[in-house]
Chains A and B, each alone.
Chain A
Amino acid sequence: MRINRRRLVPYFLLGPGILWLILFFAIPMYFMGRLSLDSGTLETGFHFDWNWANYHDALSLYKTPFVRSFVYAGVATAIALLIGYPLAYAIAFKGGRWKNAMLLAVIAPFFTTYLIRTIAWETILSDQGFVVNTFQSVGILAEGGRLLNTAFAVIAGITYNFLPFMVLPLYASLERIDPSLIEAAKDLYSSPRSAFWRVTLPLSLPGVVAGTLLTFIPAVGDYINAFFLGSTNNHMIGNVIQGLYLTQRDYPAAAALSFVLMAVIMFVVIVYIRIAGSEALMGEEAVAA
């Protein structure tokens, strides 16, 4: 029998990826799912008995940090978009010969590890530090008020740490826009403002959707920022899961919370894509097809 080699090529190409995902995603997911339905303690041993109560117990105990994670991540994503869009726009359309240098500056923070950058914020926002002193003397911050270990610090930290994930996809989609389209709008007596709203912005929507997703999804599960920059009242669901795994060793509850987190993120993302429009995500190709 003659096998059509060309037909097999895609599978050879997919092979390594699929194998990798089976080993490091599907199998761990299976174990996590199983673990989330176990009962018992580490001391007495866990046993599998479809203990759905884990989900209910973990959720009712940790509802507040759960909701808080989505609020913080949402606010941080919105701020990152407000900062990131003009930035990406400026680089794409006004960057000129500085384009590459400016892009490099956006990526430069990645040369230092995430952890060190976040710890550096502890020093910057410290009660005796320059920022707090300045804010206090101009009256933005009350005397005796603080920045470190507050919701402000956590959201600011998340925004800072994930900003490049917002800027890069935005830049990519803005850069791709054919300037002659904007010129055409102007030829048709469109004001610069309406050219932006009716041409540039709609064409950059794929970047907006990709950027917000790339920022929002990891931000919800982040715990480093809340750990270093927050107080107990600013802890996010990542901190809770970490504590359950490492100190309390309540593996079933931790696994259950992780699954709920994944499910809720997936739900939010699907709703978001539905609203934002899948064409925006797929780009013009999807519309054309």
Chain B
Amino acid sequence: MPEKAVEVMRGMRGILISALALGSAIALAACGSGGGIEGGSSSTTASTVQIQGKPSGNLTISNWPFYIDNKTVDDFDKATGISTKYIEDVNDNNEFFGKMQPLLSQGDSGGRSIIVVTDWMAAKMHELGYVQNLDKSAIPNVEKNLVPALQHPGFDPNRDFSIPWQSGMTGLVVNTDLAPDVKSICDLFKPELKGKVDMLTEMRDTVPLVMKCMGVDLSKATEQDWLNAIDKIKQAADSGQIRRFTGNDYTRDLTAGDVDAVIGWSGDAVQLQADNPNIKFVMPKEGCMLWSDNMEIPVGAPNPTAAEAWMNYVYDPKNQAQIAAYNNYFTPVDGVKQIFEKTDPTLAKSPLIFPNSQFTKTCDVAPTIKGAEEQKITAAFNAVVNG
């Protein structure tokens, strides 16, 4: 063969190979399309769980880490004969939702009978038809012992589909040694704290608190109020007033002395005090945000009978005291304080575990936002946090 022809043949062979490779890639990909992250239908009519006879069998619970002592699950299994698998695979509402959504949209809970998510996510899952209504006849302890403050949240006024696991406050966590004068959310915007402030990436904690500083009544907050607050946060971030936006890792910045005051969670403050007694939870002058992490029974959940038996069990003050003594958040169950007064009087006095109504009277639950409004607000907030 003449040399030229060989060259040409070689060139063509290359093209052929790459065409084949590309073609098979597309063919393979086409087989898979339609699946993956696409899909997802919404229905807002929730069914009610079917309770059948005496609880038994297997139970799988998804909860957040550091939320339960190491005895309660065994005690529950012994008391009921249920075999419980308690997994700590919820680390972040958004992330957990991202993982569960493809399953839930197909009516599958991935074997989970109970999941625990924060109020707004609980509401969102209900909105999308991903959770079932509870049969209240099987959870008399909840009816009897749920603290009044948590009985009628805006997103679930009758507690039809969500039962609080633990609650907490979002407010100021301050190094009182470095910044003794920080008493309000508005103080975080003062020039003397420039570069010494962290705020949370959790939008529903940070933005409503800033709205409170701006004098917005959260029960009447409009989309514009949210966007105004986000704008105020953006200006503070651009000018370098806010050092960074964090999750739990603001604890590092506080203990290292890199920041003086942050928007943070009450439970963390209790834990940080062990290292540095100057770090304190400060109730903002404007009030705090109250949140709960809620147990829900997702669609397709196996053995809802056992799931409700669990809910009923942890709402017995005796059992709840064991959990509350471990995690130091505030308990949604009445009667625990009386138990602590006998067993551990210092715990019974902590305002972070048992906040009296005077202490939290200016606090709010984050207002609900949804649909296009939620999308717009989230996009605006994330543009500040990310970029």
With A43-B40, A127-B258, A233-B240 as known contacts, state yes or no: A30 contacts B386, CB within 8 Å: no
A148-B258 in contact (CB<8A)? yes
What is the chain A residue whose CB lies nearest that of B370? A43
B16 to chain A: closest CB distance in Å? Answer: 12
Given A30-B29, A62-B383, A128-B257, is A18 in contact with B21 using a C-beta cutoff of 8 Å? Answer: yes
Are A248 and B378 neighbours in the complex by a CB distance under 8 Å? yes
Asked if A42 meets B101 with Cβ closer than 8 Å, knowing A65-B387, A127-B258, A232-B385, the reply is: yes
Contact of A31 among B17, B36, B384, B386 (CB under 8 A): B36
Contact of B25 with A by CB under 8 A: yes
Smallest Cβ distance from B39 to chain A, in angstroms? Answer: 5
Residues of chain B within 8 A (CB-CB) of A127 are 256-258
Segment of B76-84, B242-250, B269-277, B299-307 in the binding face: B242-250
Q: Contact partner of A249 among B22, B24, B98, CB < 8 A?
A: B98
Q: Are B201 and A231 in contact (CB under 8 A)?
A: no
Is the pair A27, B25 in contact by a Cβ cutoff of 8 Å? yes
User: Does A200 lie at the interface of the complex (its beta carbon under 8 Å from any beta carbon of B)?
Assistant: no
Bits for B279-311, please: 1 = Cβ < 8 Å to A, else 0.
000000000000000000000000000000000
**Residue of chain A at shortest CB distance from B194:** A144
Instruction: Please indicate the chain B residues that have their CB under 8 angstroms from the CB of A26 in the complex.
Output: 21-22, 25, 29
Which residues of A from 119 to 149 have beta carbons under 8 Å from B?
A: 122-123, 126-128, 146, 148-149
A249 to B378 Cα, complex, angstroms: 10
CA distance A149 to B387 in the complex (A): 14
Q: How far is the CB of A211 from chain B (nearest CB, A)?
A: 29
* Cα-based distance from A26 to B88 in the complex (angstroms): 35
Contact check, B387 vs A64: say whether CB atoms are below 8 A apart. Answer: yes
CB contact between B24 and one of A22, A235, A248 (< 8 Å): that residue: A22
A219-258 with Cβ < 8 A to chain B:
230-233, 235, 239-240, 242-244, 246-251
A41 & B41 in contact (Cβ 8 Å cutoff): no
* Complex Cα gap A36–B49 (Å): 39
Which listed residue, A30, A230, A235, A240, touches B25 by the CB 8 Å rule? A30
Cα–Cα distance between A48 and B39 once the two chains are bound (Å): 11
B75 shortest CB reach to chain A, Å = 36
**Cα distance A152–B217 in the bound complex, in angstroms:** 41
B28 contacts across to A, CB distance below 8 A? 22, 27
Q: A96 an interface residue at 8 Å Cβ cutoff?
A: no
> Distance in Å from the Cβ of B46 to the closest Cβ of chain A?
16
Pick the residue among B42, B252, B385, B386 that contacts A44 (CB under 8 A): B42
Q: Is A275 interfacial (CB-CB < 8 Å)?
A: no
B258 touches A128 (CB 8 A): yes
Q: Is the interface of B mostly helix, strand, loop or mixed?
A: helix
Using Cβ atoms and an 8 Å threshold, which residues of chain B touch A146?
195, 258
Residues of A within 8 A of B39 (CB): 45
Report how far A65 CA is from B238 CA in the complex, Å.
13
Residues of A contacting B38 in the complex (Cβ-Cβ under 8 angstroms) = 38, 45-48
In this complex, the member of A11, A30, A64 whose beta carbon has the largest number of chain B beta carbons within 10 angstroms is A30
Q: Would A43 and B42 count as touching, CB distance under 8 A? A: yes
Q: Is B379 engaged at the interface, CB distance under 8 Å to the other chain?
A: yes
Looking at chain B, what size class is its interface with the partner chain? Answer: 35 or more
| Pairwise interchain contact A126-B257, C-beta atoms closer than 8 A | yes
Contact B37 A243 (CB under 8 A): no
Report which of B17, B40, B245, B379 forms a contact with A232, defined as CB distance below 8 A. B245
Q: In the complex, A22 Cα to B17 Cα: how many Å?
A: 12
Q: Please determine whether B379 and A149 come into contact, CB atoms closer than 8 angstroms.
A: no
Contact A231 B25 (CB under 8 A): no
Residue of A nearest to B242 (CB): A232
Which residues of the partner chain A approach B245 to less than 8 Å between Cβ atoms?
A: 232
Task: Verify B375–A41 contact, CB threshold 8 A.
Answer: yes
**Interface pair B37/A149, CB less than 8 Å apart:** no
Please report which residues of chain A, range 1-59, place their CB below 8 angstroms from some CB of chain B when the two chains form the complex. 11, 18, 22, 26-27, 30-31, 34-35, 38, 41-48
In the complex, chain B residues whose CB is within 8 Å of the CB of A27: 25, 28-29, 32
A230 CA to B240 CA, complexed, in Å: 11
A64 to B386, CA, bound (A): 11
Residues A243 and B42 in contact, CB atoms below 8 Å apart: no
Chain B residues within 8 Å of A128, by CB: 256-258
A65 to B124, CA, bound (A): 31
B interface footprint on A77-121 (CB within 8 Å = 1, 0 otherwise): 000000000000000000000000000000000000000000000
Which of B33, B40, B94, B240 is in CB contact (< 8 Å) with A247? B94
Whether B382 is near chain A, meaning CB under 8 Å from some CB there, is: yes
Q: Which residues of B are found within 8 Å of A46, using beta-carbon distances?
A: 37-38, 40
A126 in contact with B240 (CB, 8 Å): no
Within 8 A of A (CB), among B89-144: 94-95, 97-98, 101, 105, 124, 128
Tell me if B237 is interfacial: C-beta within 8 Å of chain A.
yes
Q: Among the interface residues B17, B37, B384, which one has the most CB atoms of the partner chain A within 10 A?
A: B37
How would residues 13 to 55 of chain B score, 1 for a CB under 8 Å from any chain A CB and 0 otherwise?
Answer: 0000100011011101100110011111110000000000000
Q: A62-B383, A127-B257, A243-B386 are in contact. Are A30 and B26 (CB under 8 A)?
A: yes
Interchain Cβ contacts under 8 Å between A and B, 15 examples? A11-B17, A27-B29, A27-B32, A35-B37, A41-B375, A42-B40, A42-B98, A44-B40, A122-B256, A127-B256, A149-B258, A233-B240, A242-B386, A243-B385, A249-B98
Q: 6 closest Cβ contacts across the A-B interface?
A: A26-B25, A243-B386, A45-B40, A30-B29, A128-B257, A65-B387
Other A-B contacts than A11-B17, A232-B244, 6 sampled, CB-CB below 8 A, are: A44-B42, A149-B258, A231-B244, A232-B386, A235-B386, A249-B97
